[in-house]
Amino acid sequence: MKKILANDGIDEMGKSILEKAGFTVITEKVAQENLVNRINEEKYIGLTVRSATKVRRDIIDNCPGLKLIGRGGVGMDNIDVEYAREKGIIVANTPAASSVSVAELVMAHLFSMVRFLYDSNRKMPLEGDTNFAELKKKFAEGSEVSGKTIGIIGFGRIGQTVAKYALGLGMNVKAYDPFVKSASIKITFFNNQSIDLQIETVSLEDLLKESDFITLHVPGGEIITKKEFALMKPGAGIINTARGGAINENDLIEALNSKKVAYAALDVFENEPMPKKELLTHPRISLTPHIGAATNEAQERIGIELAEKIIEALKQ
């Protein structure tokens, strides 16, 4: 019997595609420390994870029957990918499935920032009935995004999807990516008409100096520190939905407190699942708990893509 353990869950559609192809899919959550034993006892040949379960050398070395590790999502920093592949284990992820959801969350944060929705939503339940006029004054002086410049750092799948939405809003797009010189952005309308716009990438320095808003879509690394904040326009806004640590968190707090940066939005944090309190309580940060890909549509696409990859990889 071909058994798969979907340790961080899998969308129903993906599960049923696998079952129709003859796999048994178990979605029970096994604690990290019990995984090796359970995989061996139950003779699982496939293990799928999202970001919670870690697949390190202990599992790779001690589960000889494991043929495939599947990651529902993009980032694979919770899996020792190279080591697993050296040992002959197939490692598959679903890179394209969540781009739209992450890019839409970026736009949600952008609108939240420019109209102070993150703070208004905190204050209105407490003071909306006693202090309405004061709050109205406090949250005045928002700005429009149309006509402003958005700087996109990392011009891959998600970065280019953000560019599409930003262009649709009449924003100027600057992109930086050491590996992408230019990209053709297809803007598709509801009736399937579309137009293509060519975006040439610029240097990081130009992007930092000229952008009103900056959004990060890199696979990792520390991209924004004190030095980069110093180059930004006073009053810029910054969004991180990529990886915790892509913006140095202490430098961000300093940039916010000195008003160099007007506001920030974070979906990812250095020490998840316990982000710094100073970030969580900061009055000028729009916050979400790493939900970039957490939409019904993205999860369904992830489940289907993962199921198809598992069937293809383990078809003999």
Binder of ligand NAD out of 93, 201, 211, 241 (CB under 6 A)? 241
Distance CA 307, CA 203 (A): 40
Nearest-10 crossing angle of helices 117-127, 99-114: 60
| Smallest distance, ligand NAD to C-beta of residue 156, A | 2
Distance CA 5, CA 30 (A): 9
Catalytic entry in 28, 127, 144, 272: 272
Q: Respond yes or no: is residue 38 known to be catalytic.
A: no
Of the ranges 32-40, 83-91, 170-178, 249-257, which one interacts with ligand NAD (CB under 6 A)? Answer: 170-178
Binder of ligand NAD out of 74, 79, 106, 162 (CB under 6 A)? 74
Asked if 102 touches ligand NAD (CB under 6 A), the answer is yes
| Residue for token pair 């994870």 | 49
| Smallest distance, ligand NAD to C-beta of residue 207, A | 10
| Residue for token pair 């293509």 | 196
- Extended beta strands in the chain, E state: 2-6, 23-26, 44-49, 68-71, 90-93, 149-153, 172-176, 182-188, 194-200, 213-216, 236-240, 261-266, 285-287
Nearest-10 crossing angle of helices 157-168, 99-114: 50
Asked if 155 touches ligand NAD (CB under 6 A), the answer is yes
Q: Respond yes or no: is residue 312 known to be catalytic.
A: no
Q: Scanning residues 27 to 66, which ones bind ligand NAD (CB under 6 A)? A: none
Task: Note whether 184 and 155 are within 8 A (CB).
Answer: no
Asked if 156 touches ligand NAD (CB under 6 A), the answer is yes
| Shortest-Cβ-distance residue relative to ligand NAD | 156
Written as one letter, the residue type at 47 is: L
Q: Which is nearer to ligand NAD, 45 or 218 (CB)?
A: 218
Asked if 165 touches ligand NAD (CB under 6 A), the answer is no
Catalytic entry in 243, 249, 301, 305: 243
CA nearest to 174, candidates 189, 153, 192, 158? 153
Q: Which is nearer to ligand NAD, 174 or 314 (CB)?
A: 174
| Smallest distance, ligand NAD to C-beta of residue 161, A | 8
Asked if 107 touches ligand NAD (CB under 6 A), the answer is no
Q: Scanning residues 197 to 236, which ones bind ligand NAD (CB under 6 A)? A: 217-219, 221, 223
Q: Which is nearer to ligand NAD, 7 or 161 (CB)?
A: 161
Distance CA 112, CA 119 (A): 9
Asked if 95 touches ligand NAD (CB under 6 A), the answer is yes
Query: How are strands ordered across the β-sheet holding 44-49?
Result: 23-26, 2-6, 44-49, 68-71, 90-93
Q: Which is nearer to ligand NAD, 256 or 293 (CB)?
A: 293
Binder of ligand NAD out of 3, 115, 209, 290 (CB under 6 A)? 290
Q: Which is nearer to ligand NAD, 262 or 293 (CB)?
A: 293
Collapse the DSSP code of 112 into the 3-class scheme (helix H, G, I; strand E, B; otherwise coil) and give the result.
helix
| Residue for token pair 């019990």 | 34
Asked if 75 touches ligand NAD (CB under 6 A), the answer is yes
Task: Note whether 261 and 252 are within 8 A (CB).
Answer: yes
Query: Would you state the torsion angle of the CA atoms of residues 251, 254, 260, 263, taken in this order, to the nearest 10 degrees?
Result: 90
Task: Kindly list the catalytic residues.
Answer: 243, 272, 290
Binding site for ligand NAD (CB under 6 A): 73-75, 95, 98-99, 102, 153-159, 176-180, 217-219, 221, 223, 241-243, 267-268, 290, 292-293
